[in-house]
Structure formats: C-alpha cells, structure tokens
C-alpha cells in the first residue's frame, strides 16, 4: 500500500510511474500523455493536490480542486491515499472521498463513487481498495468495506460489504458471481 507522507522526490517518482502505466514509457509517449491524456492529467492533478495538502498550501489546493471539477467533472479528495499506476480509462464523474485508500494498479471507470456511508452516530468509515482492482462504470463503493486484491466490481453495482480477493461482484447490493484462483 501507500505511505501517507510524500516527499518531492517521491511525488516525481509517482508521476513518472503514472505516466508509464498508460502503455509504454518512451519520452514522446509521456509528453503526449501530459498534453492529451485526461486520465493522466486527472491523476497528476490529484498528486499535486495531495502534495500541497500535506504541506498546508490551501490556496493551491483550492485552485487545483476547482480545476479538477471544472475540467473533468470529478471530485477526488486530496485527503484520499491513492497508490501508483492508477488508471481512469474514462475520467468523468468520478468521486473519491476523504478517507479512501486505493492500492496500486487499480482501474476506475466513469461515474464511480467511492466514499463514506454517511450514517450518523457510526462515525465516517471509508473503503480500502486493494491492488489490481477493477471498478466498472457507475459502481458505488461505500462504508468501511475492503475490496481484496484483483477483485472486480461490475457496472452499476452497490458494494456495501467486503469483497474477497479475486472475486467478481455485481448487482444492488453486490453479490459474488465468480472467483479467480490466486497463484
């Protein structure tokens, strides 16, 4: 998983890793991603916002948040912890809450919401998403749930219970339909 505090060198390493995550690592491809890839630009916005949030620079955080909402119609909290090589194939309408923790090599499609259940009296609980998870279009992951490594959440599913590693869940509420063998 990911450490909470990020140095400038680590920030640059994460940005390089994010750039390489989208098919290839040649400098020409990285420059093309920086200029044209909305997925890369969205995660770059998050990385910078998270970095400045940890350093208490509220003005830059507010500007980046405004830019994130206006350009991508997404709201990714800078308090969330997001691992390396995350990919947003269609970065529109994605919402990720304050206390969410996301592992490495995760793919999140459009219109996905990941956050607290918002129930009063229980305290806010946020999801923890393992490595290599795929969350498809329109899925909602809420509460203190844990999504195990390499699991898949189907489109338009509501996940409010833990999902085991390698499982595929669909429906409202989400129920397992299959499980991959872990080697």
Domain residue limits, the chain: 8-179
- Specify burial of residue 74 (Cβ count, 10 A radius: 0-12, 13-18, 19+): buried
- Count of alpha carbons within 13 Å of 131, Cβ hemisphere only? 5
Give the pTM: 0.82
What is the Cα–Cα distance from 39 to 81, expressed in whole angstroms? 17
Q: In the chain, helix, strand, coil percent, each to 5?
A: 30, 20, 50
pLDDT digits (tens, 9 = 90+) for 121-132: 667 899 999 999
- CB–CB of 48/67 below 8 Å? no
pLDDT digits (tens, 9 = 90+) for 42-53: 999 999 999 999
Question: For domain 8-179, is the CATH number 3.40.47.10?
Answer: no
Average pLDDT of the residues in 59-74: 93
Band (151; pLDDT cuts 50, 70, 90): very high
What is the length of the chain?
183
- Residue 5: per-residue pLDDT: 63
- How far CA 16 is from CA of 29, 33, 40, in Å, comes to 12, 11, 10
- Count of alpha carbons within 13 Å of 147, Cβ hemisphere only? 36
- How far CA 112 is from CA of 3, 14, 139, in Å, comes to 24, 23, 5
- Residue 30: per-residue pLDDT: 67
Lowest mean pLDDT among 5-14, 27-36, 107-116, 154-163: 27-36
């Amino acid at each position: 998983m990911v450490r909470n505090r990020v140095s400038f060198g680590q920030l640059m390493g994460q940005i390089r890793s994010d750039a390489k995550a989208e098919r290839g690592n040649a400098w020409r491809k990285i420059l093309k991603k920086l200029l044209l890839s909305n997925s890369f630009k969205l995660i770059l916005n998050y990385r910078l916002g998270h970095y400045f949030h940890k350093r208490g620079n509220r003005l830059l955080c507010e500007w980046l948040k405004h830019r994130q909402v206006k350009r991508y119609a997404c709201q990714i909290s800078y308090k969330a912890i997001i691992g390396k090589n995350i990919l947003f194939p269609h970065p529109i309408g994605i919402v990720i809450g304050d206390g969410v923790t996301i592992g490495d090599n995760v793919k999140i499609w459009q219109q996905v919401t990941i956050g607290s259940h918002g129930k009063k009296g229980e305290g806010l609980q946020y999801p923890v998403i393992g490595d290599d998870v795929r969350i498809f279009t329109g899925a909602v992951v809420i509460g203190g749930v844990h999504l195990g490594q390499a699991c898949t959440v189907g489109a338009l599913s509501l996940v409010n219970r833990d999902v085991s590693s390698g499982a595929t869940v669909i429906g409202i509420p989400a129920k397992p339909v299959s499980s991959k063998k872990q080697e």
